[in-house]
């Protein structure tokens, strides 16, 4: 007579608790009275960061993929880190507010413009709505305001204050 004992242990990896939701996407941005810009963007949130209410992100926004593509519009690049607060994170429609900081660079391309300021530290705020579809897609619509702009003499002349954005994200992974 033989007896068999089965033991089953349940283990959890503490690092898995930090895994949340990681999204990649594209953004279209329009500066009021100026350029169209497009970019690549990423977004991360976790249940450990205020219960999925705070989102962290990075974006590269450029006219090279917008108004400057095939035209003589000024090529400008924005490298942004952002942190947003999302209200109603468990709902499909989520209002949000976000702060952004980063670096702005305008490529004037001709040596005659070398004396003009072409870089700036960015700081902006935006607010809008996010909608999470049943499929792994999310859309963000927002209006933003650059707190530091330029006149061409004391900062880049193409850094305007008001902008509009639409981002479409695809969820790469989501820890349940």
pLDDT of residue 6: 47
pTM, rounded to two decimals: 0.83
**Is the pLDDT confidence value at 21 over 80?**
yes
The per-residue b/e assignment along 58-96, b for 16 or more CB within 10 angstroms, e otherwise, is: ebbbbbbbbbbeeeebbbbbbbbebebebeebeeeebeb
Residue 48, pLDDT above cutoff 70: yes
Quick one: pLDDT at residue 93?
A: 98
Q: Work out how many domains the chain is built from and give that number.
A: 1
Per-residue confidence (pLDDT) for residue 134, from 0 to 100: 93
CATH classification at residue 81: 2.40.160.20
Q: What is the pLDDT of residue 124?
A: 96
Alpha-carbon distance values, 24 to 21, 91, 113, 167 (Å): 10, 20, 36, 10
- Over the chain, what is the mean pLDDT? 87
Question: Domain range holding 157?
Answer: 20-174
Asked whether residue 35 is domain-assigned, the answer is: yes
């Amino acid at each position: 007579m033989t007896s068999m004992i089965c033991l089953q242990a349940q283990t959890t990896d503490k690092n898995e608790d930090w895994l949340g939701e990681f999204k990649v996407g594209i953004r279209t941005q329009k500066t009021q009275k100026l350029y169209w810009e497009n970019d690549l963007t990423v977004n991360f949130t976790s249940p450990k960061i205020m219960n999925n209410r705070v989102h962290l992100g990075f974006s590269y926004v450029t006219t090279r993929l917008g108004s400057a593509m095939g035209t003589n519009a000024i090529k400008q690049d924005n490298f942004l880190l952002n942190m947003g607060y999302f209200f109603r994170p468990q709902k499909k429609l989520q209002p949000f507010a976000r702060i952004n900081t980063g670096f702005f660079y305008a490529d004037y391309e001709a040596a005659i413009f070398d004396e003009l300021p072409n870089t700036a530290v960015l700081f902006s705020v935006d607010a809008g709505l996010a909608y999470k579809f049943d499929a792994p897609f999310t859309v963000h619509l927002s209006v933003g305001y650059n707190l530091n702009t330029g006149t061409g003499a004391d900062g880049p002349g193409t850094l305007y204050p008001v902008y509009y954005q639409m981002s479409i994200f695809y969820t790469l992974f989501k820890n349940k």
